Amino acid sequence: MAEQGNLFILSAPSGAGKSSLISALLKQDSSRVMQLSVSHTTRQPRPGEVDGQHYHFVTVEQFEQSVSEGAFYEYAKVFDNYYGTSVQAIDEQLAKGIDVFLDIDWQGAQQVRKKKPDVTSIFIAPPSKQELERRLTNRGQDSAEVIAGRMAKAQAECSHYDEFDYIIVNDDFDQALIDFTTIVNNQRLTREQQTRKHAELFKDLVSE
- Window 90-119: residues binding ligand 5GP (CB under 6 A): 103-105, 107-108
Nearer to ligand 5GP by Cβ, of 68 and 207: the residue is 68
- Rounded to whole angstroms, the Cα distance separating 101 from 90 reads 9
Kindly state whether residue 83 participates in binding ligand 5GP, applying the rule CB under 6 A. yes
Q: Which x/- pattern over 10-29 shows residues binding ligand 5GP (rule: CB under 6 A)?
A: ----x---------------
Strand pairing partners for 57? 41
Sheet containing strand 166-169, strands side by side: 34-36, 99-103, 7-11, 120-125, 166-169
- Rounded to whole angstroms, the Cα distance separating 96 from 5 reads 7
Q: Which residues contact 200 (CB under 8 A, 6 or more apart)?
A: none
Q: How far is the CB of 150 from ligand 5GP (least distance, A)?
A: 9
3-class DSSP state for residue 157? Answer: helix
Q: How far is the CB of 112 from ligand 5GP (least distance, A)?
A: 9
Q: Which stretch binds ligand 5GP (CB under 6 A): 22-30, 74-82, 159-167, 170-178?
A: 74-82
Kindly state whether residue 154 participates in binding ligand 5GP, applying the rule CB under 6 A. no
51 phi and psi, to 5 degrees? -65, 130
Q: Which x/- pattern over 38-57 shows residues binding ligand 5GP (rule: CB under 6 A)?
A: -x---x--------------
Nearer to ligand 5GP by Cβ, of 44 and 207: the residue is 44
Q: Which stretch binds ligand 5GP (CB under 6 A): 24-32, 70-78, 90-98, 126-134?
A: 70-78
Answer yes or no: are the C-beta atoms of 69 and 78 closer than 8 Å: no
- Rounded to whole angstroms, the Cα distance separating 68 from 13 reads 29
Q: Which stretch binds ligand 5GP (CB under 6 A): 1-9, 71-79, 114-122, 192-200?
A: 71-79
Q: How far is the CB of 116 from ligand 5GP (least distance, A)?
A: 14
Helix (H) or strand (E) holding 153: helix 144-158
Kindly state whether residue 78 participates in binding ligand 5GP, applying the rule CB under 6 A. yes
3: left (phi over 0), alpha (psi -120 to 50) or beta: beta
* Contacting positions for ligand 5GP (CB under 6 A): 14, 39, 43, 74, 76, 78, 83-85, 103-105, 107-108
